Amino acid sequence: MDNCIFCKIINQEIPSYKIYEDEKIYAFLDISQSTKGHTLIIPKEHVTDIFDYNEELASDVFARIPKIARSIEKAFPEMEGLNIINNNRELAYQTVFHSHIHLIPRYSKQDDFSIHFGNHQADYTTEEMTAIQEKIKEQVTFHG
């Protein structure tokens, strides 16, 4: 894609702090460094988000995550945890529309990074949960 910053990074038109590359993926330090070692993993094939992945691409990309995560952990033994985040579409905070996975090392509760999951369990009855379950299961079966 002509105006995609990640495609330009892959094509070496823009410099990056590359940490891993193979025929399918490219991994590099996120310029924002939310925490030390914050890494992005991107497919070399331009896909907008997870909804554009086929099974082969998903396997190629997601199979590399543990290797890169372990490398970050070995590089920074003081790391106490790791967030793996994939934002899809604008409402979900995707800002670069070339699919990417964030690996964000965590060092302490004061490292200026947080995620909050609201609890809406009381908002759904057993019947509503079952209806949601069935609706999704039907699509998995249909598209699987």
So which residues are the catalytic ones?
100
Query: What token pair was written down for 60?
Result: 């190629």
Confirm if 95 and 65 have CB atoms less than 8 A apart. no
Burial of residue 26 (CB within 10 Å: 0-12, 13-18, 19+) is buried
For the record, the structure tokens of 104 come out as 């964000």
Euclidean distance between CA atoms 143 and 54, whole angstroms: 12
State both tokens at 37.
């070692």
CA 85 distance to own-chain centroid? 4
Query: What's the half-sphere exposure (Cβ side, CA atoms, 13 Å) at 128?
Result: 6
